Amino acid sequence: MMSFLKILRPVNLLIVALTQILLVFGILGSAFANANVTNLLDWKNGILFILCTTIVAGSGNLINDIYDFKTDLVNKPEKTFIPELISVKLAWIYYIILVFTGAVISFYIALITDHLKWLWLYPFSVLMLFFYSYKIKALPVLGNLVVSSFIAGVFLIILFTERNALSELRELNEVQANNLEFWILCFCGFAFLTNMARELSKDIQDLNGDRLSGFKTLPIIIGVSQSKIILTLYNALFILGMTLILFFRLPSNRVILGLFIVLFLWGLIVSQKTITAVSKFDFERLSRIYKIGMLIGLMTLYLVTNPW
């Protein structure tokens, strides 16, 4: 039974859920409550919304494994669940159950909040992740763009959903509302850029299996050396962004300032690891370092928007 949980990549789902929990209840929720602003995602709607997002992400991971299990048997046999532990037929049934469950939840949220006109966002997300696994993943750059856009969307969908409450908050306290949007959008960009780099490092790591499957990922087309240069450019953009933030919006709180410095140093470490990476293990480790950076960034976002 654990295979049915592990195939959904629970650690990644936990990061998605934690991100939205902090945004909905810890950052925006507390700001709205303090200003006595009524928001759409109260405790019940917020939990259902986050559950629905997590189901979309989990079903996306599952459909990816369904289409990629032959490639995964080459790239990461120790982490492959299909077809040895879960049959292809059973995996499809599992996928349909997840998608149907998410559809029911999204319809309920849209109905009780009187936002049925935005119900199309759920099937759009599911279909995009389906076509990513079916075709887009094998294409250079575009596949990484789709996944990274969805990672950024974890932030953006919350801002979009709470746009009316944010407008009301802006009328009461324009500085606070602008500050919230600024930092959330900053870390949305950070998540997008970090995930673009992480996906590229995974493409380099999975080079052999992807080539056997006929994929046309960037490392296959331009080679590992050129792909490492692009990775280094991603890292340089991040370091530049952190430098601009530290220069123009230097946090006064020492703990928050310390976290920004940690993120800056993390960017330097990632750059050094990218330059020296050679083996599959090196790029696997690099992928884990990018994930650690996302967690540090999430902690920093919470603290910078909730100073004590």
Residue of 62, 231, 53 lying closest to 130 (CA atoms): 62
Q: How many residues does the chain have?
A: 308
Average pLDDT along the chain: 88
How do residues 128-167 score in pLDDT, each as one tens digit? 999 999 889 888 889 999 999 999 999 999 999 999 999 9
Give per-residue pLDDT as tens, 55-104: 999 999 999 989 887 877 777 777 778 878 888 999 999 999 999 999 99
Q: How confident is the model at residue 46 (pLDDT cuts 50, 70, 90)?
A: very high
pLDDT at 308 over 60: no
Q: Rounded to whole angstroms, what are the CA distances from 74 to 115, 162, 208, 241, 277?
A: 45, 44, 8, 37, 21
pLDDT greater than 90 at residue 298: no
What's the confidence (pLDDT) of residue 125?
95
291, pLDDT greater than 90:
no
Residue 307: the pLDDT is 58
Mean pLDDT of 270-295: 86
Quote the pTM value: 0.89
Residue from 201, 245, 246 nearest 224 by CA: 201
Tokens representing 199? 């996906």
Torsion-angle region of 81 (φ positive above 0: left; ψ -120 to 50: alpha; else: beta): alpha
DSSP 14-48: HHHHHHHHIIIIIIIHHHHHHTT---S--HHHHHH
Of 304 and 270, which is predicted with more confidence? 270
pLDDT at position 251: 66
Instruction: Give the largest Cα separation in the chain, rounded.
Output: 59
pLDDT digits (tens, 9 = 90+) for 222-240: 998 899 999 899 888 888 8
Whole-number pLDDT of residue 304: 79
Per-residue model confidence (pLDDT) at position 247: 74
Q: What would the mean pLDDT of 271-299 be, rounded to a whole number?
A: 86
CA dist 252 and 7 (Å) reads 43
Q: Report the pLDDT value the prediction gives residue 295, as an integer from 0 to 100.
A: 85
pLDDT in tens, 167-223: 999 999 999 899 899 889 988 988 899 999 999 998 888 888 888 878 888 999 999
Residues 24-40, mean pLDDT to the nearest whole number: 91
Percentage of the chain modeled with pLDDT above 90: 41
